[in-house]
Amino acid sequence: MPVYFVREGIKGPIKIGRAAELKRRVGQLQTSNPVTLQLLGWLVAACDIGLERDLHSRYANHRLRGEWFSISQDEVLRELQRSNGFVPKRGDAFEIISYDKDGVPEYAGVCSWADLEFYECCPFCGCLCGMHQVSEYPLHSCMNCGEILEFSGPGASEA
Q: Are strands 14-18 and 68-69 parallel, antiparallel or unpaired?
A: antiparallel
pTM for the predicted model, two decimal places: 0.84
pLDDT in tens, 28-62: 999 989 999 999 999 999 999 999 999 999 999 99
Query: From CA 69, how far away is CA 65, in angstroms rounded?
Result: 7
Residue-wise over 10-42: b if at least 16 C-beta within 10 A, else e? eebbbbbbbbeebeebbeebeeeeeeebbbbbb
- Pair 144, 155: CB distance under 8 Å: no
Domain that includes residue 76, residue range = 3-82
| Percentage of the chain exceeding pLDDT 70 | 89
Specify the pLDDT at position 152. Answer: 55
Number of domains making up the chain? 2
Specify the pLDDT at position 35. Answer: 94
Strand-pairing partners, residue 140, are 133, 149
56 and 99 share one domain: no
7 and 75 share one domain: yes
For residues 72 and 152, the model is more confident at 72
93 and 78 share one domain: no
7 and 76 share one domain: yes
Q: Are strands 105-107 and 96-99 parallel, antiparallel or unpaired?
A: antiparallel
For residues 85 and 116, the model is more confident at 85
